[in-house]
Structure 1
Amino acid sequence: MAKKHSAAISLAAAGLAVTMVQPASAAIKCSNGFQLVDGAMLSTPYCRDNLVAAVARQYGFNAPDAKVRNNPNFKRHVCRFVGQDIRIKEACDEVNPNGRGRF
């Protein structure tokens, strides 16, 4: 009887461990600043910031995705140097507004 009970507990623990692990398909999928949401590509801050980091790395910056997303001052610094790149101009305008009028 003890063997059946311990086997049931082991099976339940294994099942719980499997349900706690998220499948790879649950990860956020970004492409050029757009996120795949319910089959549609939407511009999201998360993916725009990842694109800023990727473009900055192409210019030689050490710009991890998480640092650009979580540190607005770092994003502002990166955008000051590479923000005129057409791929990220709009994302950088969020932190470095330029142009006429009030900020």
Structure 2
Amino acid sequence: LEILAETEEGDAYLFASKDKRIAFVTGHPEYDAGTLAGEFFRDVEAGLSPEVPTNYFPHDDPQNTPRASWRSHGNLLFANWLNYYVYQITPYDLRNMNPTLD
């Protein structure tokens, strides 16, 4: 696997197979604005003491309503991967496709 993007802390965010046809994203760009908040407050109520998600709530304060500022980036990530690493290298006749993804 090849790391394609990482956080400022050096954690892998996006990595893929050598041919880029199989990609892994460790975040959740598909989440709605309130999804992570729901999970966070559920865990707080369960007494799990979760860390406040970084850069999710404005000013990292759970009393503030989160904004889905990542939505367009998530859409671009998926659309670009689909176009450049799946559509562009997939033959019109699927019988000509390399089944091993080499």
Same fold per TM (> 0.5)?
no
More helix by share: 1
Structure 2-normalised TM-score? 0.27
Greater relative contact order (CA < 8 Å, ≥ 6 in sequence): 2
Structure 1-normalised TM-score? 0.26
